Structures are given as structure tokens and as C-alpha cells.
């Protein structure tokens, strides 16, 4: 079990990035969350097998409506009891 903290920059807000990430992560059986940052970037933590995390990033990069210019990926400690994948910041 691996957990990645990722910050995406580019055209990643106001293009459905968070909900695309949500649906892709659910399809890949990953846990974690995704949220917009005030500077226009998107922050995500995703957890699961490395092969599935790579698929998530590749599928996000292949979306026509999303343009990722840069990704900062850091491996962080896994949260073994986490369940599901959430979109943060929707009601804030």
C-alpha cells in the first residue's frame, strides 16, 4: 500500500478535475481525497497499489479538458484505515 501526495498545476481548476479524479480513483479502488488550492493548483492524496496510482495520474493527464503542466509527487505514510475517496472543499 502506497500513498502519494500530489500537487497539480496548469489548467486544473474550473475544468472538472476534482470530480474526474474522484471517479477515476473510485474505478481504480483507490482511497484518499482531492481539493482545490487558493493558488489555482489542485492537491490530491491517493492511496493504493503503485500500479493503480500510476494509472490514475496517466488517466488524469489524458483528459482533453485538463491540462497538467507540472506534478509534484511525494510518497507519504499510508493511512491503513482510510475508506473511500473524497472531494474536499465542495461545501466550503
Domain ranges, residue 29: 2-79
Q: How many domains does the chain fold into?
A: 1
Question: Looking at the predicted structure, is the pLDDT value of residue 55 above 50?
Answer: yes
Cell 491517493: give the residue.
46
Average pLDDT value for the chain? 95
Model pTM? 0.92
Q: List, for residues 13-26, the tens digit of each pLDDT value.
A: 999 999 999 999 99
**Residue 73 belongs to a domain with what CATH number?**
3.30.70.100
Asked if residue 6 lies in contact with residue 57, where contact means CB atoms within 8 angstroms, the answer is: yes
Residues classed as catalytic: 18, 36
9 in a structural domain = yes
Question: Looking at the predicted structure, is the pLDDT value of residue 91 above 60?
Answer: no
14 in a structural domain = yes
In this prediction, residues 58-69 reach a mean pLDDT of: 96
Give dist(CA 59, CA 21) in Å, integer: 9
Amino acid at each position: 500500500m502506497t500513498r502519494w501526495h500530489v500537487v497539480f498545476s496548469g489548467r486544473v481548476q474550473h475544468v472538472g478535475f476534482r470530480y474526474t479524479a474522484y471517479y477515476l480513483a473510485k474505478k481504480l479502488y483507490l482511497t484518499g481525497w482531492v481539493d482545490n488550492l487558493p493558488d489555482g493548483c489542485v492537491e490530491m492524496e491517493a492511496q493504493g497499489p503503485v500500479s493503480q496510482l500510476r494509472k490514475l495520474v496517466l488517466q488524469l493527464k489524458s483528459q482533453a479538458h485538463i491540462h497538467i503542466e507540472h506534478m509534484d509527487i511525494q510518497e507519504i505514510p499510508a493511512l491503513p484505515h482510510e475508506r473511500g475517496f473524497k472531494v474536499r472543499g465542495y461545501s466550503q
